Chain A
Amino acid sequence: MTAVDTAPVAGRSGEAILVARDVTMRFGGLTAVDSVNFQVNRGEIMGLIGPNGAGKTTFFNCLTGLYLPTSGEVRLDGAVIPPKPRKVVLAGMARTFQNIRLFGNMTALENVMVGRYCRTTAGPLTSILRGPKFRREEASTRERAQELLDFVGLGHTSDSLARNLPYGDQRRLEIARALATDPKLLLLDEPTAGMNPQETRQAEELIFRIRDSGLAIVVIEHDMRFIFNLCDRVLCLVQGKALIEGTPAEVQSDPRVIEAYIGTGPEDSAELEKELES
């Protein structure tokens, strides 16, 4: 079973799907993201790391259409992304949230079915008249949602309320809901936050499976071990600027990354703290 309908095309793997060019985001005098260049290829897992306040989330919001970048552009599959989250989803980019934002009073299955909303078209009239189109679409929506629940390993909990699910399952349900929008690119905002090591390992395995089905994935994470295990390439943001981009090994051994996270000496760390506070 694959998470997307289109099977991965070997020849196209490696081709850029998301390109961010010189993305800058200013809030008044504060430059949260400063001309960041970023590229994600098909079938690749890209990591985004950086200390707190480095502008990861702002950059993420620029990618998902929540913010319109002050300058620069983001292209998904060659087209500039529209500045509206809904249209970005339609264009093929889905996300999960750092603090889980499921529809708690809906069942797991219904949550995933909401994800199908943008790929279905039944309007008011056919919904009221219950024409053949409506019934066909409902059935296929339900089927696809169940398929995705099975894919993330939640097939047995489809009728449970989302708010009653254990924490790790909620994270996986959120991924299933995002997959339901038939994305080409999946953005995961701290997918393992608050997970125990075993759950983290399961999440890792799930993300690999999603990648194997042909999607590109961007992951924001604090857990270094997790991200260096997982990603093909890693981008490190510090103070809104791209510090380094490369393979996990390159990033891991780069002294500037270590410096950014831990600091080199008392003066530097004091400086960094001041920066962070401002």
Chain B
Amino acid sequence: MRRPTIFTPELQQRHGKTGWLLGVGGGVLLALSALLPWSYSFEALDGPSLLFYPSPLQVMGLVLGLLVAVALVLGRRAGRRGRVQVGWTAGARAAAVGALVFVVIVLVSIAAELGGLVNVDYGGWVALVGALLALVGTRLQPAGRSATLYRAAARSWLELVAIVVVMAAALFGIAYALDTDDPGTFVSFVVFVGALVAVLVGLGVLGWLSAVSQRHRKVLILSAFLVAYLFPFTQDGSDANMSIATQVIVFAATALGLNIVVGLAGLLDLGYIAFLGAGAFVAAILSRSAFSTLDFHPPFIVVVLISGLVSATLGLIIGSPTLRVSGDYLAIVTLAFGEIFRITMINLDGEAGPNLTRGSNGIPAIPELNLFGFDFGEPHVLLGIPLGRFSNYYFLLLVVIALIILVFSRLNSSRIGRGWVAIREDEKAAEAMGVNVFGLKLFAFAGGAFLAGVAGSVKAHIDVSVTPDQYNFLQSAFLLAAIVLGGMGTVLGVLVGAALLILLPEKLRFVSEFRLLLFGLTLVVMMRFRPEGLIASRRRQLEFHEDDEGLAERIDDQIQPSAMKGATA
């Protein structure tokens, strides 16, 4: 992992002061450029073309510029005393890199949308120069000590306020991102968010936040769900974004189920989509659709259970002979199972076998759900805000995903979860210590399948029709990609991964055209630089960096204070 260094320590020593001035100047320049027009035409992006009237994107540039300058100024003034260190330099560096990427993306987008770089007005170039200066300036600063803000304990009300602020920002950010139709603006916004997160990591604020969220777990989870429930109310009855949101949640719920298998038990499952499909088919066949092939229509709650059980049974059938072999063999068998499932569903058409699924036509016209007299197909008005069909399903899906998250996290921090970690670490030793290796693997496999079946039963009603071709290998691969990208073994990571994988193709035409290419490239890059995923659990991070002693020491240091209260890492 050795990278060539341009800014050597000697260079930093000699030009530290100049660098500091450059950095602050660059940051201020970038911030001021927000007041200047960045493009000649109002058509570009969100219209950054007016003097002294910054568009939202320009405000983001301003924020990044100010962050560089402020972090540098405070970094100079702050003493190096005390147990708690703020990573001012690291924060400034992250802000500078983020600002440069952000400005470049904005300028390229302007050029792409209006046809050529000539359309970039002087303000845009000023911003670019500012960002470049900031980058060079921050790089000339000697790297400070790493942030230890996670050690800081603030007053409880302050911590709660922090959680509320983060949640509000998340709600606002998601609503804003979904509202942007312009691809350039969307990408720039995503880069801006990424830069902000990087700054927070650099400063150590994110470390503090994660320590806070560990102290106030319940508040955090409650407020996260509150925010998720509030989201449809920001949409003003529009179903377009809610349709994407339901897709994200179905995908995330399924990926979370898979994360039990992959992230916790460490089994590679390449045919997981089959379990989702099994659940969806069961729900479709048992629904009151005119094309349903069975004359048995129990209430939906029962259908959900049957779907889960059918999937779990399939999991047991495929798992019990194959889980004795490890690694690659399991991947091949599950890959084959996914295909077998799809082809079987195509063949259960009355000709090659009994007519259960109506072959490749599948089962269309699945009626809307109706629970306790609440019709999910009808728009409802709540507090004067209309909520459409997808909003209704969105609320139901939130319940489902909450259940899956509950199962995931509770299993993870129990005797069973410890067994899984032990198996991942050293299967032989785990067996020799009395851990039921085969049983635990089979349980993960069947349990994951059960959850996928449950998600599938809801998905059938949302999609209205179920066909075998919806459940092909590509879908399994995407699920796995969401986990690898987001982070194995964490809930938040999978949520982020799923959101990115669904949102990007929806919002960006070119991403949806080159979807496979781009995701493939992303995964390759991730494997090289951050194999544990964007948001990794500490344990996974350690597993992927077996020979990184520094990381182990750091994490050791982080576990100690929290462990005093009896929390497991």
Q: Cβ of A81 < 8 Å from any Cβ of B?
A: no
Q: Cβ of B426 < 8 Å from any Cβ of A?
A: yes
Question: Quick one: CB contact mask for B264-293 with A, threshold 8 Å, 1 for yes?
Answer: 000000000000000000000000000000
Smallest CB gap from A104: residue in B: B425
User: Smallest CB–CB gap between B538 and chain A, Å?
Assistant: 8
Q: Cβ of A103 < 8 Å from any Cβ of B?
A: yes
* Contact flag A127-B415 (CB < 8 Å), given A101-B428, A106-B425, A110-B568: yes
What's the tally of chain A residues with a CB closer than 8 Å to chain B?
Answer: 44
Q: Cβ of A6 < 8 Å from any Cβ of B?
A: no
In the complex, which residues 99-138 of chain A have their Cβ closer than 8 Å to any Cβ of chain B? 101-107, 110, 113-120, 122, 124, 127-128, 130, 134, 137-138
Cβ-neighbour of A103 out of B426, B434, B546, B568 (below 8 A): B426
A-B contact count (CB 8 A): 119
- Residues B429 and A127 in contact, CB atoms below 8 Å apart: no
- Residues A115 and B429 in contact, CB atoms below 8 Å apart: no
- Residues B437 and A86 in contact, CB atoms below 8 Å apart: yes
User: Smallest CB–CB gap between A17 and chain B, Å?
Assistant: 18
Residues of B within 8 A of A160 (CB): 556
Q: Cβ of A164 < 8 Å from any Cβ of B?
A: yes
Q: Cβ of B197 < 8 Å from any Cβ of A?
A: no
Cβ-neighbour of B418 out of A89, A104, A113 (below 8 A): A113
Q: Cβ of A192 < 8 Å from any Cβ of B?
A: no
- Residues A103 and B415 in contact, CB atoms below 8 Å apart: no
- Residues A105 and B425 in contact, CB atoms below 8 Å apart: yes
Residues of B within 8 A of A116 (CB): 415
Q: Cβ of B503 < 8 Å from any Cβ of A?
A: no
* Contact flag A124-B416 (CB < 8 Å), given A86-B434, A86-B435, A114-B435: yes
- Residues B406 and A128 in contact, CB atoms below 8 Å apart: yes
Q: Which of B432, B560, B564 has most A Cβ within 10 Å?
A: B432
- Residues A142 and B411 in contact, CB atoms below 8 Å apart: no
Residues of B within 8 A of A104 (CB): 425, 542, 546
Q: Cβ of B422 < 8 Å from any Cβ of A?
A: yes
- Residues B410 and A161 in contact, CB atoms below 8 Å apart: no
- Residues B410 and A130 in contact, CB atoms below 8 Å apart: yes
- Residues B410 and A164 in contact, CB atoms below 8 Å apart: no
Cβ-neighbour of A117 out of B435, B546, B566, B568 (below 8 A): B435
In the complex, which residues 400-453 of chain B have their Cβ closer than 8 Å to any Cβ of chain A? 406-407, 410-411, 414-416, 418-419, 421-422, 425-426, 428-437, 443, 447
Residues of B within 8 A of A163 (CB): 542, 552
**Cα–Cα, bound, A116→B416 (Å):** 12
- Residues B429 and A134 in contact, CB atoms below 8 Å apart: no
User: Smallest CB–CB gap between B239 and chain A, Å?
Assistant: 34
**Cα–Cα, bound, A178→B422 (Å):** 14
Cβ-neighbour of A114 out of B419, B539, B568 (below 8 A): B419
**Cα–Cα, bound, A115→B563 (Å):** 20
**Cα–Cα, bound, A59→B539 (Å):** 36
* Contact flag A114-B422 (CB < 8 Å), given A103-B429, A127-B416, A134-B414: yes
User: Smallest CB–CB gap between B367 and chain A, Å?
Assistant: 32
Cβ-neighbour of A105 out of B437, B543, B564 (below 8 A): B543
Q: Cβ of A90 < 8 Å from any Cβ of B?
A: yes
Q: Which of B406, B429, B447, B569 has most A Cβ within 10 Å?
A: B429
User: Smallest CB–CB gap between A145 and chain B, Å?
Assistant: 11
- Residues B432 and A107 in contact, CB atoms below 8 Å apart: no
Residues of B within 8 A of A115 (CB): 433-434
Residues of A within 8 A of B432 (CB): 64, 66, 85-86, 89, 95, 97, 101
- Residues A101 and B563 in contact, CB atoms below 8 Å apart: no
* Contact flag A122-B414 (CB < 8 Å), given A107-B569, A159-B559, A164-B556: yes
Residues of A within 8 A of B564 (CB): 159
- Residues B425 and A103 in contact, CB atoms below 8 Å apart: yes
Q: Cβ of B555 < 8 Å from any Cβ of A?
A: yes
**Cα–Cα, bound, A115→B432 (Å):** 9
**Cα–Cα, bound, A262→B556 (Å):** 47
Smallest CB gap from B414: residue in A: A127
Cβ-neighbour of B555 out of A122, A161, A181 (below 8 A): A161
**Cα–Cα, bound, A141→B419 (Å):** 14
Smallest CB gap from A64: residue in B: B432
Residues of A within 8 A of B416 (CB): 122, 124, 127
Q: Cβ of B513 < 8 Å from any Cβ of A?
A: no
- Residues B414 and A90 in contact, CB atoms below 8 Å apart: no
**Cα–Cα, bound, A215→B415 (Å):** 26
In the complex, which residues 528-569 of chain B have their Cβ closer than 8 Å to any Cβ of chain A? 539, 542-543, 546, 552-553, 555-556, 559-560, 563-564, 566, 568-569
- Residues A105 and B428 in contact, CB atoms below 8 Å apart: no
- Residues B542 and A86 in contact, CB atoms below 8 Å apart: no
Q: Cβ of A177 < 8 Å from any Cβ of B?
A: yes
- Residues A114 and B563 in contact, CB atoms below 8 Å apart: no
Residues of B within 8 A of A97 (CB): 429, 432
**Cα–Cα, bound, A164→B414 (Å):** 24
**Cα–Cα, bound, A164→B548 (Å):** 11
Residues of A within 8 A of B422 (CB): 103, 106, 114, 117
| 22 contacting pairs across A/B (C-beta < 8 A) | A86-B431, A86-B436, A86-B437, A89-B434, A94-B434, A101-B429, A103-B429, A105-B425, A105-B543, A106-B422, A106-B425, A114-B433, A115-B434, A117-B415, A117-B434, A120-B415, A122-B414, A124-B411, A124-B443, A128-B407, A128-B411, A178-B433
Chain B residues close to A by CB (< 8 Å): 406-407, 410-411, 414-416, 418-419, 421-422, 425-426, 428-437, 443, 447, 539, 542-543, 546, 552-553, 555-556, 559-560, 563-564, 566, 568-569
List 8 other contacts, CB 8 Å, given A86-B431, A107-B568, A124-B447: A101-B429, A105-B543, A116-B415, A124-B416, A161-B555, A163-B542, A164-B553, A177-B433
List the 3 closest A-B pairs by CB distance, nearest first.
Answer: A118-B434, A89-B434, A127-B414
